[in-house]
Copies of this chain bind each other. A is one copy, B any other.
Amino acid sequence: MGSKERILRLKDETRTKILDAALNIVQTEGWQALSMRKIADQIEYTAPIIYEYFSNKEGILLELTRRGYQILAKDIRAARDKHETAEDKMEAMWVAYWNFAFSHTEFYQLMYGVDMVCCTVKNSLTEAETVSNMLGDVIESLFEKKPVSEDDICRKYYTYWSIIHGLISINLVRPNGRTTDELNQQILKDAIKGITLSINS
């Protein structure tokens, strides 16, 4: 019978319901308000059944992290495909990264450990690698002199990532500073152009 499949589908539905509830709580009340019992309340179950869908709370967080990287990958890919030259791609991709951090702040916090509890896994996560691979590919194409060493790409990648992740972190952790949006965008684009220019000099 198809009842097996229906049940499996239902199981999958409540699984995503759990994730949606968790995300909802975080978005409305912040990370420190997220608890297993609150998730259970929202899906109208009791806490223990969550452990039939996730091994523990960190399992939920890990799945949300994956979701986050999927959204980020989509955004960055779209930005890349909207431009022709590598320079334009680069800027658009990093701007997409920047925008993601502020339109999906909870995800960014979870993904990059900004103001959160630790999560030792998160390294060697395939979803994270797709993003870095895409960025790395375009970085490689920025170099005029070929072939480009893995070391050169890595260095430039971390240079880009550092300035942007740093700027984001500052704005997330210190939202009350005198940093206007224009100022941030100016710093962001100046830095990107500067690093890009320095690649072939």
Q: Which residue numbers of A lie inside 8 Å of B, CB to CB?
A: 30-32, 112-118, 122-124, 151, 154-155, 158-159, 161-170, 172-174, 176-179, 183-184, 186-187, 190-191, 194-195, 198
Which of B32, B124, B165, B198 is close to A166, meaning CB atoms less than 8 Å apart? B165
CB distance from A196 to the nearest CB of B (A): 12
Find chain B residues with CB under 8 A from A187 CB. 155, 158-159, 162
Find chain B residues with CB under 8 A from A178 CB. 154
Which of B165, B179, B198 is close to A169, meaning CB atoms less than 8 Å apart? B165
Given A165-B169, A183-B154, A194-B194, A114 contacting B117 (CB threshold 8 A): no
CB distance from A75 to the nearest CB of B (A): 19
Chain B, Cβ-Cβ closest to A156: B187
Find chain B residues with CB under 8 A from A116 CB. 115-117
How many Å lie between the Cα of A190 and that of B163 in the bound state? 12
* Main secondary structure on A side of the interface with B: helix
Find chain B residues with CB under 8 A from A165 CB. 166, 169-170
How many copies of the polypeptide does the oligomer hold? 2
- Tell me if B112 and A169 are in contact (CB < 8 A): yes
CB distance from A174 to the nearest CB of B (A): 6
Chain B, Cβ-Cβ closest to A166: B166
Find chain B residues with CB under 8 A from A170 CB. 158, 161-162, 165
CB distance from A21 to the nearest CB of B (A): 21
Find chain B residues with CB under 8 A from A174 CB. 122-123
Chain B, Cβ-Cβ closest to A123: B176
CB distance from A177 to the nearest CB of B (A): 7
Which of B115, B124, B166, B172 is close to A164, meaning CB atoms less than 8 Å apart? B166
How many Å lie between the Cα of A122 and that of B177 in the bound state? 11
How many Å lie between the Cα of A158 and that of B170 in the bound state? 9
How many Å lie between the Cα of A137 and that of B113 in the bound state? 31
For the complex of A and B, list the 10 residue pairs with the smallest distance between their C-beta atoms, beginning with the closest: A166-B166, A162-B166, A162-B167, A165-B166, A113-B173, A113-B115, A163-B163, A123-B176, A162-B163, A159-B187
